[in-house]
Amino acid sequence: KAGVTQTPRYLIKTRGQQVTLSCSPISGHRSVSWYQQTPGQGLQFLFEYFSETQRNKGNFPGRFSGRQFSNSRSEMNVSTLELGDSALYLCASSPGLAGGLSSYNEQFFGPGTRLTVL
């Protein structure tokens, strides 16, 4: 089974620009989560989507947004880029079924998109 794919793998942008990152989850997985990883803050949760609905959102400004399509592919957008947005953006895929303590909430990460803001 193919893993999580993310495109592009690397991006260089300048301050004030906007960027769109894409994530394709593992086949059959309906949940996609996005995380930002920086050396100082570590891995931080951005948001999670299931069946085209955002179910949870982290503590990031409104410049960070996302969406999910009917085929479970997801995009995240960052508008008005700031230097501090330079990070590795990771997408994680999960079956995403509701409730319980089963392995449904195992999250599998894609390779990430390395964003550099100049």
Partner 1 sequence: QKEVEQNSGPLSVPEGAIASLNCTYSDRGSQSFFWYRQYSGKSPELIMFIYSNGDKEDGRFTAQLNKASQYVSLLIRDSQPSDSATYLCAVNRGSNYKLTFGKGTLLTVNP
The CB density around residue 64, as the number of other CB atoms within 10 Å, is 18
Options 33, 68, 72, 74; binder of partner 1; rule CB under 8 A: 33
CA angle 90, 92, 95 (to 5 degrees): 170
Residue 117 half-sphere exposure, CB side, CA atoms within 13 Å?
A: 17
Site string for partner 1, 59-98 (x = CB under 8 A): -----------------------------x-x-x-x-x--
CA pair distance 94, 51, nearest whole angstrom:
12
Options 58, 67, 75, 86; binder of partner 1; rule CB under 8 A: 58
**Total number of residues that touch partner 1 (CB under 8 A):** 29
The CB density around residue 86, as the number of other CB atoms within 10 Å, is 17
Residues contributing to the site for partner 1 (CB under 8 A): 31, 33, 35, 42-45, 48, 50, 55-56, 58, 88, 90, 92, 94, 96, 99-101, 103, 105-112
